[in-house]
Structure 1
């Protein structure tokens, strides 16, 4: 029986996947093969969504267009906090709908939708004439950000072989940093233009990467796990054959996915099986009930971990470093907008990019837990030193204290990107069961965006209330709480199939603590 349904929106793109008869698939020799480039290219193309997120973060932060927007529209400190922070809140709206949308139209077409939303928002923002229209553009780009934050890591986790899932999923963080660097360099490029043009070019430049992302998202195949959920077993088998390390692994993975979705193993791999749930609404309601109202011990444990990961990632204050670098330097004595400040912003972006490469090579070798614990411990120490240095500078400023503060910022950035930055997405996207993955990750990202919004919108006010040094001591205390949370509750998932990870969760806290203690020894 030939695979058809090319008119169906869930059909696999002809650019990347040829429609071939089922007999041809079954005739493929069952032999071990080298890890092919197909899965890697799927992960790279899906990760390109993160360029949009990174560019959006850098182009609107303190080292970007906000300097010129404040001057152009006479924006107050409070309006600046709202403008920067509300984008994270807007993203939660996209996150709420992203899980359901990706379950309905597929992971691939949800990424395409995110690209279109971001394109429209960037276009509208670049032609803003006042503060209100600028906020409208931020609202729309925030929606696109919310969609991309959920669906991209889900897709990458679902097409990745177990042997390199950490590497593939962490690519998103690398591309975020590439987007941030692109934003920094656009700042340097367009800052020479008149104020009324420079910030518009910076804000509108993201139109081009969003167009590129739409094109590449249409080239990749649909997630095999989503195809199985839709009953399109033949297409799922074809994608698994192309993306996994061997034909035997593909067959075993397909059997695991079918079992996880309640599909009898006796069904032909090429038979179209209708969904067991009559409507998407019933499916969504049942999923939310299973997660929040009547969770199994394993699902309750997983949900706590997902929410904790996303909360501590943002509550430890990393966004403050990027969004308020000029405000930070103004408070410690540097008040100009000259090239020295811009050069430092670019150096921070360079550090982010370099250290975000570290986990891509280590996650599948030494595991998630060691990198995560090292990362959070390093952040805690660097934030304490930064708080100490800033407090000293408030009383008596000298070059040594300034050097201490700058070094602490760079070290904090480095520790963030070797662990908690990328691992939040890697770990969160792989521990959820297949049917709960989209909605469960949405819950985590909602916490992520709300926490980021609150941290961003309260930084200036907090720094006035408890001093900027006190704010960094607060973030250091939150990082210490995060280390304890991760040490006690997070088991290692390195090298396990997605369908088998659920078994690691649901045991008592005492047993988890004891097993993790033995692991550290």
Structure 2
């Protein structure tokens, strides 16, 4: 029985919420995969007797797979549909999880994590896209924010699971047990309807209307939404051609790439992947390392609500200013404590508190807001291409961070490594001032008009018309958006 038939007796609002919540569970899978490796690395290293460099490869191989998956996700979601792409991602996730738990060599584990990465790369592109297309407009922001929140919850659940298994040191169960929620997620995906917009793209208007009727309930509303989708589809995606022909579009793609580089080089995923190692360097034993790692995950979840609550009231840039400042201070003080030496329990707790301060700074700012900005600054004709470029950049940068942290620790030392990331956050503070636009309460159409008129990037979020600032719009097809 498909989702439409199954939900016939359920109110449309309930059906829509259920559909969106189930799709948002892709974020939970993402978070589980990010968090699960952190607690397992020390036990993997002990069993296989491998170097820190091989551990870096095991950690970062998932990001390599995710970059590849994200590259092909745009084509896949268009050709197979959003639902089928998510199902494929779910299958790969289960296979990768089981293979990780049963890995008989470091090389097998790397291959398993590449498979997991493929699943995550497809899901991170497709799930937010699906959510945006099925959620009612009055809850769309909340539903997409739910996806981001589920990522942080997945990380926390993985950390707690790791802590439970750390007493026995069974890393195979740490990695393999996430196949269980993966199977449940996969089964749930079969209840989802196809995306109405994708059905319209395939010329299946009657099916799209039926799906929307079950999701919305109001016939007039459905008719208007079908008409809006038809109108939107008249503007085809011409991303690669637009990128070659239009320098203003190249600026927005470059901005999206820069934003993702900023997010990854804050150092957040260093903590996500190597938290137990960091707490070990603070002088904590294995059990304490795992529990403090779980506290990191909980802090990440709770601080995300700050961004959800304030982003549409304070704006993007003020929150980014606060976030990058907090992150720079937090990591700077962690580095200082590492340099001076952590001898007492009070010094240990202070260092942990500064690391948690850093987590708060990220989760309230660069974590969710970078994704928001990346989607807002791309013009309609090139939105898929622009978001695809920034998503791939996210995973490549993520891989670089994961593959270099232990090398940095071993070559320049703990203190210098944390100072490096603190300095980068200081640089990102300046970049935010000079280049990042404020997009609060500005329509996507106005942002696009300002971009295509050639306004400086930091000003494309201004509500005033381009003409009022002395800019003229090029009279070319590529900029007539």
Instruction: Provide TM-score, normalisation by structure 2.
Output: 0.85
The number of aligned residues is 462
Alignment of 1:304-383 (within 5 A): 304-334=254-284, 336-337=285-286, 339-383=287-331
Aligned-pair CA distance for 1:115: 0.4
Alignment of 1:169-180 (within 5 A): 169-180=144-155
Aligned to 1:222: 194
CA distance in structure 1 between the partners assigned to 2:424 and 2:340 by the alignment: 22
CA distance in structure 1 between the partners assigned to 2:445 and 2:7 by the alignment: 25
The counterpart of 2:245, out of the listed 294, 306, 315, is 294
Q: 1:353 to 1:91 in 2, by over 3 A?
A: same
Deviations 1:472-506 (A, max 9, x none): 22222322333333444444545667677634533
Aligned to 1:457: 403
Alignment of 1:88-103 (within 5 A): 88-103=63-78
CA distance in structure 2 between the partners assigned to 1:463 and 1:415 by the alignment: 23
Residue segments in structure 1 that go unaligned for 5+ positions in a row = 1-5, 7-11, 19-33, 264-275, 277-282
Q: Secondary structure at the match of 1:14?
A: helix
Aligned-pair CA distance for 1:517: 12
Contact kept, 8 Å, 2:69 with 2:120, in 1: the verdict is yes
Aligned-pair CA distance for 1:443: 1.6
Aligned to 1:280: none
CA distance in structure 2 between the partners assigned to 1:443 and 1:92 by the alignment: 10
Contact kept, 8 Å, 2:442 with 2:461, in 1: the verdict is no
Aligned to 1:30: none
The counterpart of 1:470, out of the listed 378, 399, 416, is 416
Deviations 1:129-181 (A, max 9, x none): 11121111111111111111111122222333444433221212221122122
Contact kept, 8 Å, 2:35 with 2:272, in 1: the verdict is yes
Deviations 1:214-241 (A, max 9, x none): 2222222333332332233344445556
The counterpart of 1:258, out of the listed 230, 235, 247, is 230
CA distance in structure 2 between the partners assigned to 1:216 and 1:54 by the alignment: 18
The counterpart of 2:37, out of the listed 57, 60, 67, is 60
Contact kept, 8 Å, 1:315 with 1:451, in 2: the verdict is yes
Contact kept, 8 Å, 1:489 with 1:509, in 2: the verdict is no
CA distance in structure 2 between the partners assigned to 1:245 and 1:403 by the alignment: 54
CA distance in structure 2 between the partners assigned to 1:41 and 1:377 by the alignment: 38
Contact kept, 8 Å, 1:165 with 1:364, in 2: the verdict is no
CA distance in structure 2 between the partners assigned to 1:39 and 1:436 by the alignment: 28
Moved more, 93-102 or 215-224: 215-224
Alignment of 1:69-468 (within 5 A): 69-193=44-168, 195=169, 198-240=170-212, 252-262=224-234, 287-290=239-242, 292-295=243-246, 297=248, 299-334=249-284, 336-337=285-286, 339-393=287-341, 397-429=343-375, 431-432=377-378, 436-468=382-414
Q: Secondary structure at the match of 1:361?
A: helix
Aligned-pair CA distance for 1:301: 3.6
Q: Secondary structure at the match of 2:331?
A: helix
Aligned-pair CA distance for 1:252: 5.0
Q: 1:494 to 1:37 in 2, by over 3 A?
A: farther
CA distance in structure 2 between the partners assigned to 1:416 and 1:246 by the alignment: 40
Deviations 1:372-419 (A, max 9, x none): 3332232222222222222222xx644444333211111111121112
Residue segments in structure 2 that go unaligned for 5+ positions in a row = 465-481
Moved more, 377-386 or 43-52: 377-386
CA distance in structure 1 between the partners assigned to 2:212 and 2:320 by the alignment: 30
Instruction: Provide TM-score, normalisation by structure 1.
Output: 0.79
